[in-house]
Amino acid sequence: MSDTPPKPDMTTGSEPGREVEQEGAVRDKLVATKEQWARDGRALTGHAADPARDRLPPGQRLVTDWPVLDLGITPKVTTANWTLAVDGLVENPLSWTWEDFQAQPQESFVSDIHCVTTWSRYDNRWEGVSARRLLELTRPKPEARFVVFHSFDGYTTNVALSDFDDDGVLLATTWEGQPIGRDHGGPVRIVLPKLYFWKSAKWVKRIELLAGDRKGYWEVRGYNNHADPWLEERYSD
């Protein structure tokens, strides 16, 4: 891990006339604190749990609200300027506007949130387009093994394709029956309920399929590459 890791690349929307402005700046102190947590192994209990038996992963506490966590940057992305590209190792790359997205079958899932900062929230009701619908349309090539999510604020995070192609994984537009607010990653965010929530990228604009793994923003800063809450995969070994 670099001593001075790069800040996110503040890119804009993918189509002319759809540029996305940014509010705020990267909170260097917050990033440095979370890097120190990784070095110190903060909140690690040293125990694993069985998700079939233990709903609450080790080291977690229940909350009833939904805390807002970000890098300090909030992109001014709306349904009018939002776009999504899916590319890389796919047979059928796609580029969607909000209207294209809304034309897809919408699915509903209920899942829990587990944040690496030790809070969990049960029974979140989401609606959006399933990851499996996206993969059905784009048809990953046989050599595709990994996925990188790119966000409008420059954030990236990576998962195995098998974790994206899973039950309950969603490109979510609503939470508890209401459009997801901009602070929480609306109009569209990823929801990967089986992994710590930093893998569920906010303000997603591009989904890239790769043959080899490529670490994202927190992964190069000492956070675990897989992020299974029940195995307490908070930080790198």
Q: Which helix (H) or strand (E) holds 105?
A: none
The string of pLDDT tens digits covering residues 50-65 is 999 999 999 999 999 9
End-to-end C-alpha distance for the chain, whole angstroms: 12
Determine, yes or no, domain membership for 8: no
Contact 184, 175 (CB under 8 A): yes
* Residues forming beta bridges with residue 175, ordered by sequence position: 126, 178
The string of pLDDT tens digits covering residues 129-187 is 999 999 999 999 999 999 999 999 999 999 999 999 999 999 999 999 999 999 999 99
d(CA 11, CA 153): 7
**Residue 51 is part of a domain; what is its CATH number?**
3.90.420.10
Say if 93 falls within a structural domain: yes
Question: What's the pTM?
Answer: 0.91
The answer to whether position 32 is within a domain reads yes
Is 91 part of any domain? yes
- For 177: left if phi > 0, alpha if psi spans -120 to 50, otherwise beta; the answer is left
> With contact defined as beta carbons under 8 Å apart, do 33 and 15 qualify?
no
Number of domains in the chain: 1
Task: Tell me how long the chain is.
Answer: 237
**How many angstroms separate the CA atoms of 135 and 224, rounded?**
25
Assess if residue 184 is contained within a domain.
Answer: yes
Domain that holds residue 184: 22-231
Instruction: Determine if the peptide bond prior to 179 is cis (ω within 30°).
Output: no
